[in-house]
Structure 1
């Protein structure tokens, strides 16, 4: 008799990192339930990409939850009055593309859905190597959220050990590109740009575009990104 696969909730933004995380979770034998969040992001074409990726990778289920962070603002990704900076112009400070509490909120939603599904494993694509300096991408954040998950849920209190997996945490963008190719991820389905147009075409100038392009180049992998001006 076959043992049922363990369930996992995987945050799926529609970008290259989260697509690779879905593939990694499946390779580890998890029954993947993908969760996307419509949080008021200006680049909503990433949600269309998430649907494509979920279908391509054959997840058990995929849903999108609405939490409109435009109500608090404070980020170029949710406030049209704040310009998305051109790559290289962010300086040493945390850039304006940081969305206050975004990863905390998304993981909380994944945690809640995980309790409903009976999934004790959460996956996210945060990265502490090739990233933009966001405080909620650090290992300390992931570790702290896992402690919170085990304190704040019925599952945790009743003895289930809840885990937060961040398998890309210490991988470079080129490592991620190579791993995705190895696992059969179609990066042409993904959208990473902070200001992608309605058709998912990338600007080619924001920080997300820069990191993505450099990752493909360093990995020796053809860049499948569709750009507005190419």
Structure 2
């Protein structure tokens, strides 16, 4: 962006994980003024909120809001209920069915909040780090879901109905492997030591090393040929 050009606003869904940090760096490199949104939703891995704060600062976002909602009220997931987080699953097991770490309707809820935020900030771009390659089987990380939500977003909002341009759900990582994501973020100087991906960290924020998110992250760094800066407790 040139100095005499106003940066267009964009909403960034920021979990504090590897993917959302990379998406944020991509959006910033494309010249967007980022309004970050994170969620304290009753998740067991609250270390991600501290990571989100660190990443937001590193991205120099315009603002960083944390929405407080209680998905633990419904449970149904190892991330929001007293259910063990699966450990040591193989890639084949991850590709079979929807895992217990899936939080019912989570991305729909998060994107709905982002949509409300976008309306107020007059932002026509919402960035989210969903991935349909290394995604552990989640139904709300798939291209048909993103397409459907975008169509709904443009029907359900005054911003979408205004005729001044469509709301876009931006998913630059959708078809990238974890290794490709790590390489892309490294080129954009993302400090992955600031991020966390673990579903079951200890009280010091150290990653378990065995949950699906940890295994995918570790394999991504290995395949990219880049040293993994994650603090693991069991490795």
Q: Give the TM interval when normalised to the shorter protein.
A: over 0.9
Runs of 4+ with deviation above 2 angstroms? none
Q: Secondary structure at the match of 1:199?
A: coil
Q: State the shift of 1:140 in Å.
A: 0.5
Question: Are 1:168 and 2:169 counterparts?
Answer: no
Instruction: Find the aligned partners of 1:114 and 1:87 in 2 and give their Cα distance.
Output: 39
Instruction: Find the aligned partners of 2:205 and 2:158 in 1 and give their Cα distance.
Output: 40
Q: How does 1:90-109 map to 2 (within 5 A)?
A: 90=93, 92-109=96-113
8 Å Cα contact 1:7-1:30 kept in structure 2: yes
Unaligned runs of 5+ in 1: none
Q: How does 1:64-143 map to 2 (within 5 A)?
A: 64-80=66-82, 82-88=83-89, 90=93, 92-143=96-147
**How many pairs does the alignment contain?**
229
8 Å Cα contact 1:46-1:192 kept in structure 2: yes
Q: Secondary structure at the match of 1:99?
A: coil
Q: Secondary structure at the match of 2:54?
A: helix
Show the counterpart of 1:47. Answer: 49
After superposition, give the CA deviation of every residue in 1:33-61 in whole Å (9 maximum; x if it has no partner): 11101111000000000000111121111
After superposition, give the CA deviation of every residue in 1:7-54 in whole Å (9 maximum; x if it has no partner): 000100000000000000001110011110111100000000000011
Q: State the shift of 1:3 in Å.
A: 2.5
Q: How does 1:2-81 map to 2 (within 5 A)?
A: 2-80=4-82
Q: Secondary structure at the match of 1:130?
A: coil
Q: State the shift of 1:229 in Å.
A: 2.6
After superposition, give the CA deviation of every residue in 1:143-186 in whole Å (9 maximum; x if it has no partner): 11100110000111111310000000000000000011100000
Instruction: Find the aligned partners of 1:18 and 1:164 in 2 and give their Cα distance.
Output: 14
Structure 2 length as normaliser, TM-score?
0.95
Q: How does 1:145-156 map to 2 (within 5 A)?
A: 145-156=149-160
Instruction: Find the aligned partners of 2:84 and 2:140 in 1 and give their Cα distance.
Output: 22
Instruction: Find the aligned partners of 1:169 and 1:93 in 2 and give their Cα distance.
Output: 19
Q: State the shift of 1:85 in Å.
A: 0.4
Q: Secondary structure at the match of 1:151?
A: helix
Q: Secondary structure at the match of 2:39?
A: strand
Q: State the shift of 1:198 in Å.
A: 2.8
Instruction: Find the aligned partners of 2:204 and 2:9 in 1 and give their Cα distance.
Output: 33
Question: Are 1:179 and 2:203 counterparts?
Answer: no
Structure 1 length as normaliser, TM-score?
0.97
Unaligned runs of 5+ in 2: none
